[in-house]
Amino acid sequence: MQGSILDHVGRTPLVPLRRLNLGLHPTICLKVESLNPGGSIKDRVAIAMIEEAERQHWLRPGGTIIEATAGNTGVGLAMAAAVKGYRCIFVMPDKMSGEKIRLLSAYGAEIVITPTSVPADSPDSYNGVADRLSREIPDSWRPNQFANLANPEIHY
C-alpha cells in the first residue's frame, strides 16, 4: 500500500500498439496518462511544480497556491494541495463548466471567477487577478504554469 494518492501519479500503464508494431523493433507503446488519479498528465505537472517550489522554499508549510487555470492543471494542483495541506485559490474565466468548478471545490480549492470579455492583458483577466492575489496574499506562491520550466520538463 502506498502512502498517499500522490504516490500513484505517473504509475500509469504502457500499452503496446499491437497493429502498428507488426514486424517493428523496438515495440511502440503508449503511456495511458488518463489513468492518473486526477485524470490527466497534468497531475505530473502539478506535482513537479509544487515540489520544485518546496525545494526552492517558494512554497512553505501553510502557504497558499494561487493559479489562473481553466483545466486539468488546476485539478492536479488542487489534489496535491489537499494532500500536502496547502490553501489553494484558482482564478478562472466565467466560461468554465460547473462540473470543473465543483471538482476543484471538492478538493478544497477556493474559486475566483473573472470575465472572459476583458483583454488578456487586463488586470481583470484571470491571469491579471491571479497576479494581484499572489502579491496581496502573504505566503502565497503562483505556479504560473505557462512560464514554469518544471511544466515542460516533467514530460521528458
48-92: per-residue pLDDT in tens?
A: 999 999 999 999 999 999 999 988 999 999 999 999 999 999 999
pLDDT of residue 1: 42
Contact 82, 61 (CB under 8 A): no
Q: What is the pLDDT averaged over residues 11-28?
A: 80
Pick the CATH number of 42-153 from 3.30.1330.10, 3.40.50.1100, 3.20.20.100, 3.40.50.150: 3.40.50.1100
Q: Is 42 a catalytic residue?
A: yes
User: Where along the chain do the CATH 3.40.50.1100 domains lie?
Assistant: 42-153
pTM of full prediction above 0.75: yes
Going from the C-alpha of 143 to that of each of 11, 18, 55, 111, 131, the distances in angstroms are 24, 39, 13, 16, 11
Single-letter residue type at 71: G
More confident residue, 145 or 80: 80
User: Tell me, what DSSP letter sits at residue 70?
Assistant: S
Enumerate helices (H) and strands (E) in the chain, giving the number of each.
Answer: 5, 6
97-129: per-residue pLDDT in tens?
A: 999 999 999 999 999 999 999 998 999 999 999
Query: Given 42, 84, 95, 100, which residue is catalytic?
Result: 42
How far apart CA 97 and CA 78 sit, in angstroms, is 17
pLDDT of residue 116: 93
122-134: per-residue pLDDT in tens?
A: 999 999 999 999 9
